[in-house]
Amino acid sequence: MKIELRDPNKIMKLSRLGSFHQSKLSFLRSFLNEFKEWEYKRDLFNLNENGFGEAVYSFKKNKRVYSLVCFANEIKDEERSDRVIATKWDAAFTLHDGVPTKKDIERLKNEVPKQEVGRLSYKELTLSRANKSLRIYNHVVESLSKGQQPDLNLLSKVGYLYRTTAVYGSGKFGLADRFRIKNREEINGPFRLEMMLVYLVRQFTFDQVNHVAYYKNPKTAVKLDDNICKNLGIGNSTGLGMAPFIVNHPTLLNNWILSREKALKKIREIKDVESQDSDLFIDCVKKSLKNISSWNTDSEYQQKKISSLLKDVEKFLNFINKDFNFEIEYPFNKIYQWLEDNTCEECIEYIVSIMMEPYNNIVNPLVKEMSSDEEKYFNIPTHRKVEELRNIIEAKYPNILDINFEEKENNKNFWFISKNKEEPRLADRFEEHGSELEQPLAIARDIKKLYDKLLVSKNSLTIAEFLTSNSELRHVVRRAFIVEKFPYSEIQDNTIGKDLMPIDMLRLKLSFFGALKFDPRSDKWLRICMFQGAPLPNELKSYDEQWVYKTNI
Amino acid sequence: MKSLSEIETTVKRASKAAGYSWGVSEETGKSIRLLELFSLPGIKHLNEYFNQKNKSKFENLNLISENNFSSNSPYCPITLGVSFLDQINVLENLKKIEFKNVAYPIIFISFISRSSEIIGKKIMVKIDEKKMLLNLNVNIILNFIDQEFPKIANTIEVNLLENEDNFTDDEWNNLYKLSEETFVEESDSLKEGAAGAGLTDND
């Protein structure tokens, strides 16, 4: 049986993209898989009794070394903020390419804690900072220093000791450009070095609490239990900065989604499913219920989504237990069809992610297809004709063409870059100033404008001729030719309408990172948890691949 | 040191602020990034051009022909570059194109370099007495590496080169002969068995 890839016009709607969940394709899971054979080491741990100072952690294989350089700083409570306007953080980190010399560490000590206003060099690959979760960190230190393990109930409410507030890579603030390292096989996957940084930061947080607890009371202190460490991740606060990324990198977005779609298609095309595979799938769905029930958020929007997800996953398990037989032909296709007919988008995408669990043979080759050589597709094929471009738009953006941008509600917002922080922001164009400096992120509106122009242009005109008098539409002409080749490269929705939920855009990206427990703090920023349940560095050589569904706190 | 990613992003935004559309600004970002990658003074000249743009007038050439002459003010190198890039498939037939009076020609050169990759042909450019060879957007060879780039080009001559070898037949044959010394003379049995395919391959 041949299954078609799902329709981009359905999958690329924001409500669907905002329902995506982590899967085996997620970058933090593929990072662990790639680096499991590497030698992990703590090379330097020079903290004072209060936990302030420097530390270096590394992954090494053959002659290649990646080193996380950590700087833990003393800051006042009132200086601590997760918002991008902060200027001080509890800890700052950079991933250095190779083994840092003393001179490097001195240089980095001056620059890394400054983050956006510091300067890094081509020898640094990623940059980040993090703040303590005060309610958890202090409790853990206190408990350990008294010889006790911390209260698991309290830990389960947060899930991490520190949360990062930004992770930068790819040439920002002087960091190495991607092209310098793109031929390294071990990082042939998006955001792999960012994932490495976050993973090593997680280990630093455990070492730091153990260290501080010990110096607080050397006679009674105990170390944080390995099993508890394993069930703690790293938090992350994410705002709008992430949203434009998925618009600005269309071929990359396509390759992420296409890999997911190909995986689903191949799984639906499996005629006979081995019992061990169906057992693993069902086991993961059952165990994952704990992830849903321990998913805490104050957001009413997310609470509703979690509640319908939980209800639908339970309904699904009921269906599998009572009405379903995996011995029929193409069982996963039947399951998928049932999900589409009976459950919400959040549940459909949740189960789709879990379907991948038994199938390394399908998923692993796709992981290698998730990067993109974006430069290759940048040039506009200007020899082509207006008629061809119009046909592409009609075929690829059918719903976009139905939107009336003359209506205020469809044209309500504009994206801009804040002068203060050089970060993307969203505002109401009818109430705020600045819309004349709008960023080119209103793709749906501009595609519609392009289409209207094409309708009154001669079919036989070349695109080069068309562009001589329509330069303002050049950015969307480029995109239309990209979507022709890359069907999942475009969000098929209005990114400036009144109903826009920007966190849908963030969730899409974070799901591919492998984030869990999305916790929206407003419609524009959210908190997440990464690596919760993941093996510790010294366990990497042999670990349970389904760790993500087996968290204990 | 600024990364190329920072250069591209900042140039894109600065070009938009200087009055170009977002699409043209994206092209400018790519082009200046390229110049800086090749250690050519892209940022310096773009900066000077944007300063001049506020004070002086520049001509936009949208449709390029064999001979292009701006009598009043110099051509804007960005509009000229984008037009060249867009029309390269047609311009390829002209072999030689001439431009008179072009501002900050190094900026224009970056677009010609990208065009060289699109048509898969090397392009020789003469800016007055200075020569440069654009090699399929992989590199740019200059005959004036230690001299300043001009701010105005009186004449730019663009020659689209045919794909031809860079060496003589004799030079090639000598080298080929030497390479043959790594081959093994086949015996009859090797002829029969070593190729893998059957002997009756026309069935």
pLDDT at B200: 55
Q: Which of B41, B80, B74, B79 is nearest to B55 (CA)?
A: B74
pLDDT computed for residue A84 by the predictor? 67
**What is the token pair recorded at A352?**
């789709």
Closest Cβ–Cβ partner in B5, B23, B87 for A471: B23
pLDDT one-digit tens code per residue, B14-58 = 999 999 999 999 999 999 999 999 999 999 999 999 999 989 999
Closest CA to A320 of A355, A282, A356: A282
Q: Which of A34, A98, A36, A101 minimizes the C-alpha distance to A67?
A: A98
B114 in contact with chain A, both atoms CB, cutoff 8 A: yes
Q: How many CB atoms lie within 10 A of CB A146?
A: 13
Indicate if A383 and A234 belong to the same structural domain: no
Q: What are the strands of the beta sheet with A124-132, ordered from one edge? A: A39-47, A53-61, A64-72, A91-97, A124-132, A160-168, A233-238, A526-530, A516-520
Amino acid at the residue A431:
E
Residue B203: predicted pLDDT: 56
Chain-centre distance of CA A180, in angstroms? 23
Pairing mode, if any, of strands A424-428 and A160-168? unpaired
CA B150, distance to chain mean position in Å, is: 18
pLDDT of residue A22: 96
Cα–Cα nearest to A472, from A449, A493, A494, A496: A449
Instruction: State residue A139 phi and psi, 5-degree precision.
Output: -65, -45
Nearest Cα neighbor of A39 from A12, A59, A22, A17 is A59
A176: closest CA of chain B, how far (Å): 7
**Bridge partners of A129?**
A92, A166
pLDDT higher than 90, residue B196: no
- A121 and A180 in contact (C-beta within 8 Å)? no
Per-residue pLDDT, A79: 82
Residue B197 has pLDDT above 60, yes or no: no
Domain membership of residue A157 (yes or no) is yes
Q: End of a domain among A485, A503, A521?
A: A485
Q: How many domains does chain A have?
A: 2
**Quick check: is A204 in a domain?**
yes
Q: Provide the 8-state DSSP code for A432.
A: S
Among A121, A382, A416, A450, the strongest candidate for a mutation testing the B interface, having the largest count of B CBs within 10 A, is A382
Q: Is residue A14 part of a domain?
A: no
Calculate how close chain A gets to B19, using CA atoms only, in Å.
11
Contact B21 A172 (CB under 8 A): no
Question: Does residue A276 lie in a domain region?
Answer: no
In A, minimum Cα distance to B7 occurs at A171
**In chain B, at which residue ranges do the beta strands (DSSP E only) sit?**
67-69, 96-103, 123-127, 130-135, 139-142, 152-160
- Best of A374, A467, A477 to disrupt the B interface by mutation (most B CBs within 10 Å)? A467
CB contact under 8 A, A475 and B22: yes
Q: What is the pLDDT of residue A522?
A: 82
A185 within a domain of the structure (yes/no): yes
Contact at CB, B20 and A417, closer than 8 angstroms? no
A20 within 8 A of A508, measured Cβ to Cβ:
yes
Answer yes or no: do A475 and B23 touch at CB < 8 A: yes
A chain contacts of residue B65, beta-carbon cutoff 8 Å: none
CB contact under 8 A, B3 and A467: no
Residues A233 and A380 in one domain: no
- Half-sphere exposure in the Cβ direction for A205 (13 Å, CA): 34
Q: What is the pLDDT of residue A337?
A: 97
A235 and A379 fall within a common domain: no
- The pLDDT of residue A517 is 84
pLDDT tens figures, B112-141: 999 999 999 999 999 999 999 999 999 999
Chain B CB contacts of A122 below 8 Å: 1, 3
Token pair belonging to A466: 């068309």
- Bridge partners (DSSP) listed for residue A235: A163, A529
pLDDT at A353: 98
* Domain end point (choices A210, A239, A268): A239
User: What average pLDDT is seen over chain B?
Assistant: 93
Three-state DSSP class for A507?
helix
pLDDT at A294: 80
Residues of chain A with pLDDT under 70: 84-85
User: How do beta strands A233-238 and A413-417 pair?
Assistant: unpaired
> Residue A441's closest chain B neighbor by CA?
B22
B22 — contact with chain A (CB < 8 Å)? yes
What global pTM score does this model have?
Answer: 0.92
> What is the ipTM for the molecules in this complex?
0.87
C-alpha span between A454 and A464 (Å, rounded): 13
List the B123-127 sheet strands across, edge first.
B67-69, B96-103, B152-160, B123-127, B130-135, B139-142
Quick one: closest CA in A to B2, which residue? A174
**Measured distance CA(A411)–CA(A68) in Å, rounded:** 45
Which residue in the set B30, B86, B87 is minimally distant from A378, CB to CB? B30
Cβ distance of B1 and A174 shorter than 8 Å:
yes
Nearest to A471 among B1, B24, B89 (CB): B24
CA dist., res. A467 & res. B9, Å (int) = 23
Yes or no, beta carbons of B13 and A417 under 8 Å apart? yes
Q: Which domain holds residue A160?
A: 36-239
- Give the 3-state DSSP-derived string for A289-350, with helices as H, strands as E and coil as C: HHHHHCCCCCCHHHHHHHHHHHHHHHHHHHHHHHHCCCCCCCHHHHHHHHHHHHCCHHHHHH
Looking at the partner chain, which of B5, B20, B62 has a beta carbon nearest the beta carbon of A468?
A: B62
Q: At what angle do helices A443-455 and A386-396 cross, to 10 degrees?
A: 140
Residue A67: inside a domain: yes
- Which DSSP helix (H) or strand (E) runs through A40? strand A39-47
Residue at which a domain ends, from A206, A239, A272: A239
Which pLDDT belongs to residue B202? 56
Is residue A311 a part of any domain in this protein? no
Strand, coil or helix: A232: coil
Residue B199 is predicted with a pLDDT of: 52
Q: Is A395 helix (H, G, I), strand (E, B) or coil?
A: helix
Amino acid at A139: H
How far, in Å, CA of B22 to CA of A476, rounded? 9
Cβ contacts of A451 within 8 Å, gap of 6 or more? A390, A393, A394, A397, A401
Name the residue in chain B with its Cα closest to that of A474: B23
DSSP state of A224: P
